[in-house]
Amino acid sequence: MNFFEQQDQARSSTARLTLLFSVAIVTLILITSFPAAWLFATIDVQAQGNDATATTLRFDVFAGVAAVILCVVVLGALYRIAQLRSGGSAIAASMGGILLTRNQAADDELKILNVVEEMAIASGLPVPPVYLINDDAINAFAAGYRQQDAVIGITRGAIRLLDRDELQGVIAHEFSHVFNGDMRLNLRLVGWLHGLLLIGLLGRVLLRIPRSVNRQRSQFGGGVVALGFLFTVLGYTGVLFGNLIKSAVSRQREFLADASAVQFTRNPEGIGNALKKIGGFPLGSRLLMNEVTEISHMLFGDGVMKRSFSWFATHPPLADRIRRIDPNWDGVLINPEKPRERSWSSLPPEAQSTPQPLRPEEVLASTVVASIGNATAANIAEARAQLDALPTEMRQQLDTTLEAALMMYAIVIADAGADTARKQLALLQQLLSPPSFRLLVQQLRLARLQSRALDQTVVDLAQPALKQLSPAQLDDFLRVLEKLVAVDAVLTLHEWSLGALLRHHLGISQIIDKQRRELAACPGECRLLLAALAQAGQQDAVAAAQAFAAAWTLLGLLPVDYLVVSDFRQLDSAVRTLRALKPLQKPALLKAMVSCMHHDGTVKDTESMLLRTVAALLDCPLPPWAR
């Protein structure tokens, strides 16, 4: 599956869906406004004692009713979307989710934390916070507005009843939703349905008004009742058709996510058996909470009820999902509470063999870029190797906000020269409390022992803790980080990459041009980026110029001269412009960057971190590969 085509299709689907909802809302307004305007005109005529047949449709009343309905729908939708844009944690919290941390997790909860970390690192995404939903059903969801604020929610039943391979399949399914832009689409669906629902709720409010109206105003009361009834019927009719649209979209995205999970893990048995366990478990995937109806389309399995296909089903029938994964399925489901024998039918040949890690010479530009959104078993193996390479003590010191923040400082100092490091330590001794400074010194010892190639992995692992910082704490953290970088008045590529990656993962807002661009409109930005990458990886200016020239030809742009980048801060504005590239324009830029990096046959840590940072900033998370 092509990640960039999926991005482009997701944008088109969102546009079509918005148009469809717009048509539904306009139709609702017209259907409601005409009879409402006629009703008000009739009441006005009767109040004047005239013949009712003289009733004429008043345009001012029609326009007023239409404006009220439009405001209710739009404001209701925007209010709900604004609530949910605060991040997936808000949705998880609304479901009673409990944030899991490594220091407090039980053994079975550590299992899911390990799986999520492994799959996140393998896919190039920051590690999302994991929330435990206290429900015995088998279910999970990914929620958030962007990749940076995504969270994974999983039920206690899924953790208890699924083995590691099955959990891996479920989490791969949820990561597919993150990659394919389904989270943003899902939140918009929730918002617009909420706006339509408010019309029905407004009608119910109007139905209650006549109870407080005295008998002298019975005509007015009768009109309000009729209007309330009209709003109630049409409002809930709008919700009815909105749910039909939501369900149809959701069913197709579920098939796509299942296929992506198989492609990601190369193990159809994992997600296939998870689905079979949902079918064979008495509770299935049904969640016993009121909030589940609104977010039912975000779940791994149908959270509302066990049912065969219906027009309002947010998920395809389980049997259809299983057969798409395992065409030779014999129809037997799995009760996870009973012992069973492994009975997976014929695996595809590529799933039966263990993929070998990619060798450096095999990591060509097309292969690396093709792995975006389509991580392979080799990427998972590399992610597992990177996690195993980190000292246990270091991983344990990333679970609290203080420890995670101090570890980021330690990474900056560990990459600095001896003189700069002494100045940075002296600065932190002034800014931190004595206990915090002592902890920093311990973390610096660990950071210096590890390879700089693992710095991005450490940054990714620190995200769940760093995202718990309050706005004031986040400002203080970034301010201290900037002071550390400014100690020697020289910004290195490692420092730029680390700072840019942290700001991006933590959702620090940047103004992005809404106008989608072609590569041909950004030659200066492409030139600056490729030149910086060439400088990072080559021994001298001549070799850097050659690497730059070879990479530039892949862009198909007019020839330009190589330049020496004297201030890497220029990359901020360049990448900000390049983030507005059209989805199908991004692969060419990334292939040129990979070609530049591989020009001399070796990959330096600074090159790798810069490439993966830029890919993340372009919303194209790049999986790790064996080097």
* Sheet of strand 140-143, all strands in order from the earlier edge strand to the far edge: 98-99, 130-133, 151-155, 140-143
Which candidate, 178, 165, 179, places its Cα nearest to that of 112? 165
393 assigned to active site: no
Q: What is the distance between the alpha carbons of residues 294 and 287, in angstroms, rounded to a whole number?
A: 12
Per-residue DSSP letter, 450:
S
- In degrees and rounded to multiples of 5, residue 527 shows phi and psi of -60, -45
Exactly one of 117, 174, 382, 495 is catalytic; name it.
174
Single out the residue of 180, 162, 77, 73 nearest to residue 115, CA to CA: 162
* β-pairing verdict for 151-155 and 98-99: unpaired
> Cα torsion at 353, 357, 361, 364 (round to 10°)?
80
Which helix (DSSP H) or strand (DSSP E) does residue 75 occupy? helix 59-84
Under 8 Å between Cβ of 609 and 545: no
Q: Which residue, 1, 620, 118, 114, is CA-closest to 381?
A: 118
Q: Rounded to an integer, what distance in angstroms lies between the CA atom of residue 180 and that of residue 374?
A: 11
- Among 413, 406, 537, CA closest to 476: 406
299 forms bridges with which residues in the sheet? 141
The set of long-range contacts for 221-230, using a CB threshold of 8 Å and a minimum separation of 24, is 223/39, 223/40, 223/42, 223/43, 226/39, 227/36, 227/39, 227/203, 228/203, 228/204, 229/203, 230/32, 230/35, 230/36, 230/39, 230/203
Please tell me the distance from the alpha carbon of residue 379 to that of residue 125, in angstroms, as a whole number. 12
C-alpha 502/C-alpha 497 separation (Å) is 8
Catalytic residue ranges: 174
